[in-house]
Amino acid sequence: MLRKGEFDAAIDSYETSRVLWIDALTEESGKLAPVYQGLGECYIEKEDFKKAIQLFLKSLELNEGNIGIEIEVRSHLGECCYFSGDMERAEKFFLESVELIEQSGEAGTGAQIAPCLNLALRYSF
C-alpha cells in the first residue's frame, strides 16, 4: 500500500508504463486496462475525482472481459461519483458492480465486497 505523498511518484510510474505499453502494444490494448485502473486509484487518493473518473472509464473501454477489473472499476467509479456529489451516477455504478458480482458467482473477496459497502454508504446519508 502506498503511503500518503507517494502518489505522485506512483502516477509517474504508471504514466511511464502506460506510454511504454502503448508503444509496445497495438492489438493488445486490453493489457492497458490495469494501468488506467491503477492511475485512477492514485487520483482517488489525491481526491481528484474528475481525473479518476476519466481514467476508470478508459480502463473499462480497454478491458477485455476481465470481470475482476470491471467489478473494481465500476465500484471505484461509484465512489468517485459519490464524493463528487453525483449520487445518481454513483448508485448506477455501485449497482452495476454488485450485479457483476452476482453474475460471476465469485462473491466473497474484499474487492468484490467493496461495491456492496459503497452502496450501503450511498444510502446511509
- Quick: pLDDT tens for 64-91: 888 989 999 999 999 999 999 999 999 8
CA proximity to 72, closest of 31, 113, 32: 113
pTM: 0.74
Q: Which residue has the cell 481528484?
A: 48
The helix (run of H) or strand (run of E) holding residue 102 is helix 87-104
CATH topology of domain 7-123: 1.25.40
Residues 6 or more apart whose Cβ sits within 8 Å of residue 101: 71, 107, 112, 115, 116
Name the pLDDT band for 113 (thresholds 50, 70, 90).
Answer: low
What confidence tens digit (pLDDT) does each residue in 20-68 have?
Answer: 555 555 546 677 888 889 999 989 988 999 999 999 999 999 998 889 8
- Which triple of cell numbers denotes residue 23? 508503444
- The residue count for the chain: 125
